[in-house]
Amino acid sequence: MWLLTLPGVYRPWHDTWLLARALASERSLPGARVLDLCTGTGALAVLAARRGAADVTAVDIRTNAVWNVRLNALLRRVSVQARRGDVDSTNGSRFDVIVANPPYVPTDVTPRGGQRHWAGGPDGRAVLDRLCAATGRMLAPGGVLLLVQSSLSNEERTLERLRTSGLTAEVVDRRWLPFGPVLLQQRDWLLTGQRIAADQYEEELVVIRARR
């Protein structure tokens, strides 16, 4: 699926398409009310709309991403409501499907500008933990969350936190990939903190599915 990517917006990458595959296989998608968190270009929101979702909302903390979603929805001739917001700023709305590709890279940098797309704090969980805590109140009964993250940011903790929120949760897809530019930049810091092995140049991406 061709998409326009504006300067400073997270370009769809392996994690986007891994999550897209899980989203496309959701049987509940036709007619569903869908929320795409940390949307970036709106790739997943556009996919949901093209697959028959009745109402699609895309949320991102950056204004240029919101405009990017609107442009891509217009180009693909689908209806997507795009607005600026955080992972827990849904104003009490409930959704049948929530899809999220949050920042999850462990890092010691204070995120600025485009770094906010990927910088997840020292353990990679600055946004993940907030998302896990908020999901239960954002999902409609029977609703589904699809979330992608790196194994470097502790998938077991995500599963535990989602289950604590009253959801069933499991890993439904995995893929090993070579470190991209971001992780290569962070590699020395990850080594110093013993977060990766000395010969490690790959990370495992996981897709987690949780259901209320």
- What is the distance, to the nearest Å, from the Cα of residue 38 to the centroid of all Cα atoms in its chain? 6
Per-residue pLDDT tens for 69-118? 999 999 999 999 999 998 877 777 899 999 999 999 998 877 777 788 88
CA torsion, ordered 135, 208, 160, 132, to nearest 10 deg:
-20
Choose which CATH entry (3.30.300.30, 3.40.50.300, 2.60.40.420, 3.40.50.150) describes domain 14-211.
3.40.50.150
**Residue 148: band (very low, low, confident or very high) from pLDDT cuts 50, 70, 90:** very high
Per-residue pLDDT tens for 25-80? 999 999 999 999 999 999 999 999 999 999 999 999 999 999 999 999 999 999 99
Higher pLDDT, 117 or 22: 22
**Amino acid letter for position 33:** R
Residue 150's DSSP bridge partners are 205
The arithmetic mean of pLDDT across residues 146-158, rounded, is 97
CA–CA distance, 35 with 99 (Å, rounded to integer): 6
